[in-house]
Amino acid sequence: MTQPPVDASSSAPFVSVPQPAGVPILGNLPAFKRDMLSALMAAFREHGDKVRFNLLSRQALFLAHPDDLNHVLIRNNRNFTKYTRGYRVMRQLLGNGLVTSEGSFWLRQRRIAQPSFHQKRINAFAETMARVAEDRAHNWEQLLKNSGDGAPPVIQLNAEMARITLDIVGFTLLSTELSSHSARVNTNLAFILKEVTRRIRVPWSLPLSVPTPGNNRVNRAIARLDAVVETIISRRRHSAENPEDLLTMLMEARDEDSGEGMTDAQLRDEVMTIFLAGFETTATALTWTFYLLSLHPEAMAALHAELDQVLEDGRMPTLQDLPRLEWTRMVIEEAMRLYPPVPMLARTAAEDDVIGGVEVPAKTFIILSPYITHRHPAFWDEPEVYNPERFRDPKADRPRFAYYPFLGGPRQCIGKSFAMMEAQLVLATLARRFKLEHAASTPAQLNVTVTLGAQGDIPMKLTRR
């Protein structure tokens, strides 16, 4: 049951919410198609915390204030579903996994996956996370040796972080070595996420079964990812080993009524979700963290000073070091404030409701954006400025949803603790030995898909500290 709406007699009608000018028939859809995030930011700056949009035949409401986000994500969360065009497209291209599923099916999958993300279990992954980063550090050392006394080698930051985080997900959640699949997974997942975004922004798309050149490219990318996933599942089914990981839990789960386990198709969808939510988002967070540090030498110097103090004699970081790696945590959190891995999300109102004193009709498309709320001047001083000191006090007096890189409520990212521990350990392992300097002449540009990546590669000069 959803929470009954407040008395509408004291609320304002939906049409009272300001709406940016659009074009006949299509309304604000062309602006969304050009650059949805920029369109939302411009509307927020002009009209404030609530903005109404006309998207062809659909009404949408953008919300930026933490109180309104709390209503949608927690207080009356059952009234706001993932039955949206965006999630429908994601289900078509990425499957019906934990991120995209809804209702009783989602609840069942969440309950199956939850034990893999229990804090004690996550803590046991710390050594593996640091070891994977250390192995990559050895590769970087070899690059430096091969460069001799010449110019420092240049690495592609995006690809390096993706490789590390994919390996970590492989070893910890799937008990599988994935480094040989890194380029394939990264390239094809990035293409599919771009296609998801394109399809969300247009009024209609032909079904994937129609053999257009574009659909053929999408189907080939999906097939390449499927081949990796099918290999992982097949090897596990034919293996005598039975590691206590997420994949085993998914394979051994049984329906309470029928006693049936997951089909290979269902397992495929969940493993695909692990690729998206388990490695892509953390790789994105680490990429922007290293990029911002390279632009702010004082923050990088403070990081190196902390690592030198905590990690005596240059040893690898451990789980026990994390509480002392305070600045390490802060620079990651500030990077996720400016560049949250998931920049936008959407819900659909199942029934009429009242949000922040405004009547919201059923079927209204609700748009939220961590990227924009993280820049809200009412909650952040100099919001465009990179300042990790904002996170000195984890219990700072900010509204709950002034900062929400892992979303919130029942659909909060199940891997939040996993991702934060992983990011700290990877950053500490690499930054204690190396310094990265942005090697391009122009700033990195945003690539807004389901996640908030960078356009193209971010080249970094690699030097020893």
From the centroid of its chain, how far is CA 252? 28
In sequence order, what are the beta bridge partners of 52?
A: 61
Residue whose C-alpha is closest to residue 172's, from 424, 342, 419: 419
Q: Measure the CA–CA gap between 273 and 13, rounded to whole angstroms.
A: 39
Q: Measure the CA–CA gap between 450 and 360, rounded to whole angstroms.
A: 26
Residue 319 in marked binding region: no
Strand 58-63 and strand 365-368: the pairing is parallel
Number of Cα atoms under 13 Å in the Cβ half of residue 293: 29
Confirm if 439 and 130 have CB atoms less than 8 A apart: no
Q: Measure the CA–CA gap between 40 and 307, rounded to whole angstroms.
A: 39
Binding positions for heme are 413
